[in-house]
Each structure stands twice: as structure tokens, then as C-alpha cells.
Chain A
């Protein structure tokens, strides 16, 4: 069994009118089965309202399934006695950097999780130090979070999760509110964590450029998993992605159009370097 596993996961939002009568039921997540192996870098892609954030909140036991089961590191999230263990194993980073930083000083915020877990003071300091170093924010430890940039704040949030020593980290659109530089900083930090510390990463996003490093990509639409595979497999189906209203990276799109108009280049080109190499090969032959 993988570190995160869902089986026939269904989640329904119940909309009520002012008197509390049920107005309608929305299926945000519909029969989703995913299986994530330890150490993997997973990306979940989807348009707004595709259910990807709802799915993410199930992994951290913030939401509970209407039907089906979620297991995190072998523990069923429906088991109330395990809820704090699950939240410690599966840390979560949210979208808005301002709304998840609790401390008034960077180091205090990173220490918040370990404090809640009842870690002895001395070890909290060690954990804070190593996690701030892991995201490259150690020199900012005495700063006020209000004075940091969006990307830096998000890295602090990631450090706050790492300090709890989770086995996997779920990032719910961590870059949605950031500028391109901030986005790069955050993605670099996540990749470093995944590479060096072997923390399983689940990145939820709607930016295509961010998923090219993933081991596996799930594309969600209307609560279903529509596509599943490596980034290359996903990106070779440009037309299907377009029908799901997802933007394809420009290089991939260019390569796709070139191929359609008769050039002999491979499908699923992800980077500018790959395309130039493919074109060079073509010219030589």
C-alpha cells in the first residue's frame, strides 16, 4: 500500500437555503482512486472547481469522505483517534501565504507545529533551524513575516510543515497568488525537499510549467480523474488537455503545432531545450 491511497472517494457539498433545507448536492469529488508511493512527486492538475483542492483536504483529514476511504501511511482518515497522527504525517501548505502564518516572527511560525505536537524546547529549535535551512530562509529567521515577499512567505509556510517531520507534504495551489519569481522559488524549494529529504510531495496547481518535474500527474475535471500518467504522457495529448480547458506550456504547444503541420518531432516536448534538440536532429538528418 502506498503512502496515500484513496478508494472510491466521494465527497458531496450540501448546499442549504436560509431555513436549512437542502437545496442541492454538489459532488466535488467523484469516485477517485489514487495511489501514491513514498518519495514520489505527484502533481494534481485541474481547472477551477475541478475538485482538486477538495481532494487535497481529504489527505490532511480536514474533510472526511462522504463515501469511500482515504488511507494516509496506512491509517484510515475516518478513524478519529488517528486524526492528529495523520495531520502530522501529511503536512499541508495552503494557497494564501498571509492566512497561514501564525507567528509574528519567522522562526516562531516554523516552531508552531512542533509546539503543538509537544516536542521538547531544545528539539524545536533544532527542527526550526534545519527546516528553515532546507527552504533557504534561515537568514530571515528573525524577520517579521509581514515584511517578506509572497514567495518567501510560502517558503516559510513550507518550513513550518517540514518542522513537523511529515512523510508527505500536500501543497494546495501554493503559487496561485505569487508572481513568476515567487513561483519559481517555491517550486524549487519543493523539488529540493523531494530530492534531498525524500518527502513525498503532492502539488496541486493549474500552472502547467510546474508539473514537468513530477513523477506522475493526475488531471482532474468535474471531480473525476480524467488523465493519469507521466508529464510526457499527459503533454502528448494536447487536444485532450485543451478540451479540459487547461493551458499547455508554449513550447509543448509549438511542438504540437509543428508536428501537426508535418515536421517529424516527438510528442510531449516539455522544455525549450528538448525542442531545440529535436529541431537540430531534424536539420541534421
Chain B
């Protein structure tokens, strides 16, 4: 049952977006998120929406996969919208008991909702088109400048890669321990939340012990294969920018420029007295 969980949500397909360098996709996503917070009118959002729609179309990932990512933030979305609707002071449109929905509240709530939805979809495009491996490589490479501040960039990336490799193994193990305990009469299904949480303790203890043992073995195996940190290490698959990556950077910056122009500067010019 637990084995069905897939980590990361990579969607296998052959598109330009898939082939892009992970660094481009990471910085592109960050720029897209920035653009969402720079613009604050509906022209800007329309530009962002069009750009996003175009990227999704090029990536060949079915739209329903993007929507899947939305499920996790439905609650957050509802809370944000409700708070903004009711708690923004201004001209009342509807009054329910002591609460009133204001015109300003509606505007802010809608903008917030659009921002959140675009933000989630935008980052799903990245995770759907990049393998976790590539993502780790990209992060390591982008974070390299932080080495000056003694941030252990290589080590963190290695840890992420190992975690990714061991998640399915540990899930399988959890499944095994669970079954072994169910066979001996353990009950993970019934009872209230507290009881359920308590029944997990006998599951977690053996899991942790085994995880530590595995970590110990792996460390030894890595040392035996001459692993000594990131120094003097070469890469089997080094990240190399290609022509398409340059074009992608250009597109993203062009988009940012258009966004700022349409969503910030132009309306300001028109509305100026």
C-alpha cells in the first residue's frame, strides 16, 4: 500500500522544457514568482497567465497534473480568501451580521487567489518537468556562490540525493514492519487520532533503528569507494548550458520586462494626472 507513493511528481515526456538545464528552470520559476508579486493589476495577471499557459502547452504535460498540486493548498486558499474578504476595511457591499464584505476586500481576495494559484502551478511546471536528480544538481550548482559563507552546498545536495534514493526503500521497509505487526495483532486502523498516533510508536522504533543501520552501512560503502566530500570531485553528468538555455533565459527576462511594463509602469502613466 505504501509503495504506491511516488516522490517528486516528475512527468515523463519529451519536450523542450524537459530538456532545459535545471538551473534555467529553477531561476525561471523564481523570476516567475517575483513577477507575481511585482505586478498588482489585472493586466499584469493576464500577462502572467498567458505566459504560464504557453509554458504548460510547450511542456506537453497534461493540465490535470498541474491541478493535482492544487489540492494541497485548497485550505490555505480558502482561508486567505475568507480573511481578505471579511477583514479588509472599506466600502461595504454585503453585510452579514457583524461581518461585511467590502469592495476592496473582494479585489484583494481575488488577486491573492490568482497569485497563489499561479505560484503553485508555476512551481509544479518545474517539478513536473525536472527529475529530482536534475533538481538536486541544479540546486547545488546555483547555490555554489554560498560556499564563500561556508554553506556546505555539496554536502546538502548529496544528502538530498541520498534521501531521494532511500525514500522508496524505507517505505518498503515500513510496509514490511507494518505487515509483520498486523500479523501479530497490531491495529493501525481503528481508534481516534491519539490512539492511532500511539499505535505508530512500535512502527517507528524499528524503522529508526534500521534507518541508522542503513546509514552506517552506506557511509562505509561510500568511504570504501573513496568518497571524501566535494573537493577534487569530478562530475559524470556536468551541467552545461546549451543554446536553448540561453534562449530560455532571454524569454524569461523578456516576460519579466513585459510584466513590469504592463503591470506596473503603463497603468501608472495612464492614471497619472
Q: Would you call B150 an interface residue if the criterion is a C-beta within 8 Å of the partner chain's C-beta atoms?
A: no
Complex contacts, B217 vs chain A, CB 8 Å: 94, 96, 99-100
Within 8 A of A (CB), among B204-222: 214, 217-218, 220-222
Residue of B nearest to A111 (CB): B236
Q: Distance in Å from the Cβ of B69 to the closest Cβ of chain A?
A: 22
- A108 and B223 contacting across the interface, CB-CB below 8 Å: no
Q: Distance in Å from the Cβ of B132 to the closest Cβ of chain A?
A: 7
Q: Distance in Å from the Cβ of A113 to the closest Cβ of chain B?
A: 4
Residues 115-159 of chain A: 1 if any B CB is under 8 Å from the residue's CB, otherwise 0? 111111100110010000000000000000110000000000000
Q: Would you call A13 an interface residue if the criterion is a C-beta within 8 Å of the partner chain's C-beta atoms?
A: no
Q: Would you call B197 an interface residue if the criterion is a C-beta within 8 Å of the partner chain's C-beta atoms?
A: no
Q: A100-B218, A128-B236 known; A112 and B225 CB under 8 Å?
A: yes
> Which residue in A102, A107, A117 is a CB contact (below 8 Å) of B226?
A117
> Which residue in B221, B232, B235 is a CB contact (below 8 Å) of A121?
B235
Q: A100-B218, A103-B165, A104-B161 known; A92 and B236 CB under 8 Å?
A: no
Q: Would you call B41 an interface residue if the criterion is a C-beta within 8 Å of the partner chain's C-beta atoms?
A: no
- B162 and A102 contacting across the interface, CB-CB below 8 Å: yes
Complex contacts, A98 vs chain B, CB 8 Å: 169, 214
CA distance A104 to B136 in the complex (A): 12
- B236 and A94 contacting across the interface, CB-CB below 8 Å: no
The size of the chain A interface, using a CB distance under 8 A, is 38
Q: Would you call A3 an interface residue if the criterion is a C-beta within 8 Å of the partner chain's C-beta atoms?
A: no
Q: A84-B228, A146-B168, A146-B169 known; A102 and B221 CB under 8 Å?
A: yes
Q: Would you call B112 an interface residue if the criterion is a C-beta within 8 Å of the partner chain's C-beta atoms?
A: no
Residue of A nearest to B165 (CB): A104
Q: Would you call A87 an interface residue if the criterion is a C-beta within 8 Å of the partner chain's C-beta atoms?
A: yes
Q: How large is the interface on B (under 10, 10 to 19, 20 to 34, 35 or more residues)?
A: 20 to 34
Q: Would you call A101 an interface residue if the criterion is a C-beta within 8 Å of the partner chain's C-beta atoms?
A: yes
Interface of A is mostly: helix
Q: Distance in Å from the Cβ of B96 to the closest Cβ of chain A?
A: 54
Residue of B nearest to A128 (CB): B236
Residues 94-123 of chain B: 1 if any A CB is under 8 Å from the residue's CB, otherwise 0? 000000000000000000000000000000
Residue of B nearest to A107 (CB): B236
Q: Would you call B164 an interface residue if the criterion is a C-beta within 8 Å of the partner chain's C-beta atoms?
A: yes
Complex contacts, B133 vs chain A, CB 8 Å: 104-105, 108
Q: Would you call B233 an interface residue if the criterion is a C-beta within 8 Å of the partner chain's C-beta atoms?
A: yes
Residue of B nearest to A88 (CB): B226
Complex contacts, B164 vs chain A, CB 8 Å: 104
- A116 and B224 contacting across the interface, CB-CB below 8 Å: no
Complex contacts, A115 vs chain B, CB 8 Å: 233-236
Q: Would you call A268 an interface residue if the criterion is a C-beta within 8 Å of the partner chain's C-beta atoms?
A: no
Within 8 A of B (CB), among A72-106: 84, 87-88, 91-92, 94, 96, 98-105
Complex contacts, A107 vs chain B, CB 8 Å: 236
Q: Would you call B83 an interface residue if the criterion is a C-beta within 8 Å of the partner chain's C-beta atoms?
A: no
- B234 and A124 contacting across the interface, CB-CB below 8 Å: yes
Q: Would you call B227 an interface residue if the criterion is a C-beta within 8 Å of the partner chain's C-beta atoms?
A: yes
- A108 and B236 contacting across the interface, CB-CB below 8 Å: yes
CA distance A101 to B223 in the complex (A): 12
Complex contacts, B161 vs chain A, CB 8 Å: 102, 104
CA distance A16 to B56 in the complex (A): 61
Residue of B nearest to A144 (CB): B168
Residue of A nearest to B214 (CB): A99
Complex contacts, A94 vs chain B, CB 8 Å: 217, 220-221, 224
Residue of B nearest to A113 (CB): B225
Complex contacts, B169 vs chain A, CB 8 Å: 98, 146
Complex contacts, A103 vs chain B, CB 8 Å: 165
Q: Distance in Å from the Cβ of B193 to the closest Cβ of chain A?
A: 32
A residues at B contact (CB < 8 Å):
60, 62, 84, 87-88, 91-92, 94, 96, 98-105, 107-108, 111-121, 124-125, 128, 145-146, 160-161, 164
What are 17 A-B contacts defined by CB distance under 8 Å?
A84-B228, A87-B223, A94-B224, A96-B217, A98-B214, A99-B221, A100-B217, A102-B161, A103-B165, A104-B133, A104-B161, A108-B133, A114-B234, A114-B236, A115-B233, A115-B235, A124-B234
3 A-B pairs with least C-beta separation: A100-B221, A99-B217, A111-B236
